[in-house]
Amino acid sequence: MLKCILISTAILFSMAVPFQAKAEIDDFEGYQGFVDVGYTFGTGSFGLNSVDIMTSHGIQIIPTYLYTGIGTGLQYFHEIKECAIPLFADIRSCFIPEENVSPFVDLKVGYSAVPGKSGDISDGGFFLNPTLGCSFVIKDFIALNAGIGYTFEYVNIPAIDTRKDIGGFSIRLGIQF
């Protein structure tokens, strides 16, 4: 799985270079949308790996430097065949918005809903995902994003009826529009 993620990252980066237009990160104003896919390598006290899909939508509060939005996602913990649904507030800032390649910092904070045996979400808990990455503008108002971070989720595990950190280090690839 790691090999596939690394190959995909290399392909996305190599695609971004020839298509870079004169567009820059600071051209992104107003509404912003992000869709990311990734993989989390479990390192928490319960150490669960997951395949992740996240989306966030919001606006540039301070043009080019500060984005805020809300988002949701789906995490599939393939080892135990269970899902979690994070709901979060998202804050993002680019460091060099005057360029078509810019490092960024992103912070997602919220609640991770974990459906219990009865179908309710009472087994969920705190969700935190700080990420460092880089944006690559490929054409006007479209950028590719790549990042690494840590996902912290403190949830109830129904099988052992106790609260555990099921988070870990994450790798994310996405698109910004």
Instruction: Map out the domains of the chain as residue ranges.
Output: 2-176
List CB contacts of 119: < 8 A, sequence separation 6 or more: none
The residue with tokens 């009826």 is 161
pLDDT tier at 16, thresholds 50, 70, 90: very low
pLDDT per residue over 86-97, tens digit each? 999 999 998 887
Q: What is the pLDDT of residue 57?
A: 97
Q: What is the pLDDT of residue 80?
A: 80
Pick one of 3.40.50.300, 3.50.50.60, 2.40.160.20, 3.30.450.20 as the CATH number of 2-176: 2.40.160.20
Q: What is the pLDDT of residue 166?
A: 81
Burial track 28-39 (b if 16+ CB lie within 10 A, e otherwise): beeebebbbbbb
7, two tokens = 């190959």
Count of Cβ atoms closer than 10 Å to residue 98 Cβ = 10
Q: What is the pLDDT of residue 10?
A: 52
Mean pLDDT of the chain: 81
Q: What is the pLDDT of residue 159?
A: 59
pLDDT per residue over 72-121, tens digit each? 999 998 888 888 899 999 999 988 877 889 999 999 999 998 776 655 44
How much is the CA Rg of the chain, to the nearest whole Å?
17
65-69, 75-79, 147-151: range with highest mean pLDDT: 147-151
Cα separation, 12 vs 16, whole angstroms: 6
